[in-house]
Amino acid sequence: MVKDRLALALARRLARHRWQAALSALGVALGVGVVVAVDLANHSARQSFEVSLRQIAGNATHRVIGARGLDERLYAQLQRNGIRRAAPVVEGGVRLRGEFFQLLGIEPLAESAFRGWAPPLNSSAIVGLLGGEDAVLMSARDAQRLGISAGEDARIKVAGAEKIVRIAGVIKSGAGGDGLLLADIAAAQRLLNRFGELDRIDLILNASEVARIKELLPADARLVVPQARNRARAALGKPFQTNLAAMSLLALLVGGFIIHNAARFSVLQRRELLGCLRMLGATHAQLFARVMFEALALGLVGALAGLLAGAWLARMLLHLVARTIRDLYFAAPAGELQLPPELLAKGLALGLALTLLAALLPALEAARAPPQAVARRSLPELRARRELPKWALAGGVAMLAAAALAAVPGGGVLSGYIALFFLLVGFCLAAPLLALLLARVCAPLFGALFGFRGRFALRGVGAGLSRTGPALAALTLAVAATIGIGVMVESFRASVSGWLTQALPGDLYISIPANSSRRAATALPPGFAGDVRALPGVAAISSGRSVEVETAAGPAALHAISFAPKSYASFHFTEKLPDLWRGVERGEMTIISEPYAFHRGLRAGDEVSLLAAGGARAFTVGGIFRDYGSERGALIVARDPYARWWGDDAVSTLGVYFSDGNDAENLTAQIKSVAAAYDARIRVTSNREIRGYTLRVFERTFAITRVLRWLVVAAAVLGIFSALLALQFERARENAVLRACGCTRGEVFALGALQTGVVGLFAGLLALPLGWLCAQLLIRVINPRSFGWTLASLPPVSTPSVYLEALALALFAALLAGLYPGWRTARASPAAALREE
């Protein structure tokens, strides 16, 4: 009976502050929503990435690959020798209606055991494939999305050339086949211009066949296990996704502050009531349970709303995540959103756990409320201030732990994130004390600037710290995060841009864009390079051949380069051996990019084994160079040894160096006309254009980061809004006295605005050092540990805009949040407020 009354009494009080309740639920909703959205988008992207790898690999237990693809006759040889469950594959990337598709050339007659989603052998879809040299199948979903129906012709672009295919049918089997064009191997060879060769042979082998097949393979072919390779490829996207997940947790952290704030407020506001209830016989435990229950109820409502919002948001994020993965890893995830219940449950649990954690302290406070505290309003405020140094000390310890974690050499990505978390939380714990100190320091300045109002506002902030502290901390955290991420992106861009300037010493670059093969870039026509070199005004050319080669640890990108004199200077080595270039030219050494070294754990002087035409060939790592071109990394060897050992003297890229004092425009036009005479697909690009394009891709990669940053800020604005709203209610009487003493509404409003402005300003000021620290962690610890990239660390003066924007953001966020509460206070009738007294 007492318990019910207790609940009722507290609930009534809460109902009067339903705005407060709604806002704290919204805070949780936002936090949970962002976490769930990122989680879902990540999961779906990863899932479709894996599905697309798996569906291409099928049920194969093994796979035969070659140094330069495979001679198609090997397949027949295996068949004749009783290796029956074998499926030849020719594959390449094509564009259909501007979208990337994987053209998968198969032998339908050998398929049934391999790719379960492929149509059955006795279906007319497969029959349609066998029927024509231009017939392809696509998934029903893709066909519907693109508005293509079976029987229609469609234009595809293969290595820049346009070809016509007939959509012979659609595959209706579930998730399989999305992003694929399935063709008979004869058609695929013709469309991709890959006569006589295979990319691989998929196999289902038993133990005795494994032994047998090894004797049948030529020296330049290798038997590999596709599952391991798929895992390795899928793992590539992981650091990127971990980054997103970590950012989403920031939003949740901010949400936690909001609910903490709200719970704390509800306790403060109901102190009298709680004191009365204690006097009436309510136990500590009852009050504790009551406050926790309230918080939990709000948390539950918020978390549930967060799940809905998260699912909705994930749909938008998925597009960005999938696009980034495509840009970074050259895979084509289908991008279908999935809603696995365990992820939703995880989001819900996270939201509730955070709510409980955030409400713990206020609930304890409520339970501890002494009955006589009814009249002593100043008591909690005093205690809160007394405890500030304790919190700050705890914060200091946390930040020290962060520093220690960051300093441990060879630590993982996770420890980097934990360090970041400690740093943020530690700083936020210390934030109220810092704000108080800041208020003291600023007092004379404010007095001088705004007179008594300035001092009044500052004191008010100091006095109200038990209420404004968490909100201030939340805003600090959010703004610091935007600084950290902003600085990181800026220094990333500066690094990439600097690298681009150095890495592209040539004036023009010539290639055929879009590969018809996964394995090798499209070759330039023979004779073309010589013709370009012979043009007057061309000082030198460098030529390159880009292929995928097999290493002991799976496929890797290899560039075989014939260097121009200026090429050598285009490499910036992080480590190298002394006689590096001679070793490279002789074919004894390779130079590898930083991410490649990072992923494979290689140092200069180590050895790598590459599968060449005559079998495995060892190279010494002569140097490790900075490269932001590929997250997977790449190896470089000299072209002459490559041509000899791989039996491939094709050229896929030319770098053209003009001699000084030439009319660059005229020469470019000449080269373009030479190119057009050879092959219309050849693209001549200036180094400036490449730079521009690369930076555009870069911007796209960070689009999602920007979205998340704004979500974190939104959560913080919400937090500060709810804190200020509550604060203004608290101040109702204070303001009434001011009004009664003759202040106008405008003056009261201005005073309120000044106070909230102070909160925003302080949060912004505190966020500056924290943001800088975050950026250092991201640049020096987390990024190298995630991707292997060394980024230039920019001093704050070189990116002042990031810091100034953040400060303005904090100020603006606080003022915006203070608008409505200020307006309400100013409008309140002083008589009504004073009557309560």
Q: How many residues does the chain have?
A: 837
The C-alpha atoms of residue 43 and residue 37 are separated, in whole angstroms, by: 10
Rounded to a whole number of angstroms, the minimum distance from the CB of residue 513 to other proteins is 24
What is the 8-class DSSP label of residue 758? H
Relative to beta strand 180-184, strand 99-106 is: parallel
Per the DSSP assignment, residues forming a β-bridge with 745 are none
Give the nearer residue to other proteins in terms of CB position, either 59 or 630.
59
Rounded to a whole number of angstroms, the minimum distance from the CB of residue 129 to other proteins is 9
Amino acid at 463: A
The C-alpha atoms of residue 240 and residue 199 are separated, in whole angstroms, by: 29
CA dihedral 791, 795, 800, 805 (to 10 degrees): 60
Give the nearer residue to other proteins in terms of CB position, either 110 or 766.
110
Phi, psi of 338 (to 5 degrees): -115, 150
Rounded to a whole number of angstroms, the minimum distance from the CB of residue 71 to other proteins is 10
Give the nearer residue to other proteins in terms of CB position, either 151 or 371.
151
Give the nearer residue to other proteins in terms of CB position, either 145 or 603.
145
Give the nearer residue to other proteins in terms of CB position, either 73 or 231.
73
Rounded to a whole number of angstroms, the minimum distance from the CB of residue 193 to other proteins is 9
Residue whose pair of structure tokens reads 């937090």 in the numeric block: 719
Residue whose pair of structure tokens reads 């890495």 in the numeric block: 503
The C-alpha atoms of residue 171 and residue 126 are separated, in whole angstroms, by: 10
How far lies 530's CA from each of 189, 257, 646, in Å?
Answer: 29, 67, 22
Give the nearer residue to other proteins in terms of CB position, either 130 or 834.
130
Give the nearer residue to other proteins in terms of CB position, either 172 or 533.
172
Rounded to a whole number of angstroms, the minimum distance from the CB of residue 196 to other proteins is 7
The C-alpha atoms of residue 434 and residue 388 are separated, in whole angstroms, by: 9
Enter the tokens of residue 392. 């700050």
Rounded to a whole number of angstroms, the minimum distance from the CB of residue 189 to other proteins is 4
Give the orientation angle of helix 703-730 with respect to helix 238-269, to 10 degrees: 10
The C-alpha atoms of residue 453 and residue 754 are separated, in whole angstroms, by: 8
Give the nearer residue to other proteins in terms of CB position, either 143 or 621.
143
Give the nearer residue to other proteins in terms of CB position, either 161 or 308.
161
Applying CB under 8 A, which residues contact other proteins? 72-73, 75-76, 79-82, 84, 107, 109-110, 112, 119-125, 127-128, 130-133, 137, 150-151, 167-170, 172, 184-187, 189-190, 195-196
The C-alpha atoms of residue 146 and residue 152 are separated, in whole angstroms, by: 12
Burial class (CB in 10 A: 0-12, 13-18, 19+), 137: buried
Rounded to a whole number of angstroms, the minimum distance from the CB of residue 647 to other proteins is 20
Give the nearer residue to other proteins in terms of CB position, either 108 or 469.
108
Amino acid at 743: C
Relative to beta strand 161-171, strand 589-593 is: unpaired
Rounded to a whole number of angstroms, the minimum distance from the CB of residue 218 to other proteins is 16
Give the nearer residue to other proteins in terms of CB position, either 151 or 692.
151
Rounded to a whole number of angstroms, the minimum distance from the CB of residue 168 to other proteins is 6
Per the DSSP assignment, residues forming a β-bridge with 611 are 616
Rounded to a whole number of angstroms, the minimum distance from the CB of residue 159 to other proteins is 16
Non-local (6+) Cβ contacts of 9 within 8 A are 273, 277
Rounded to a whole number of angstroms, the minimum distance from the CB of residue 188 to other proteins is 8
How far lies 486's CA from each of 249, 349, 450, 786, 811, in Å?
Answer: 17, 31, 33, 18, 18
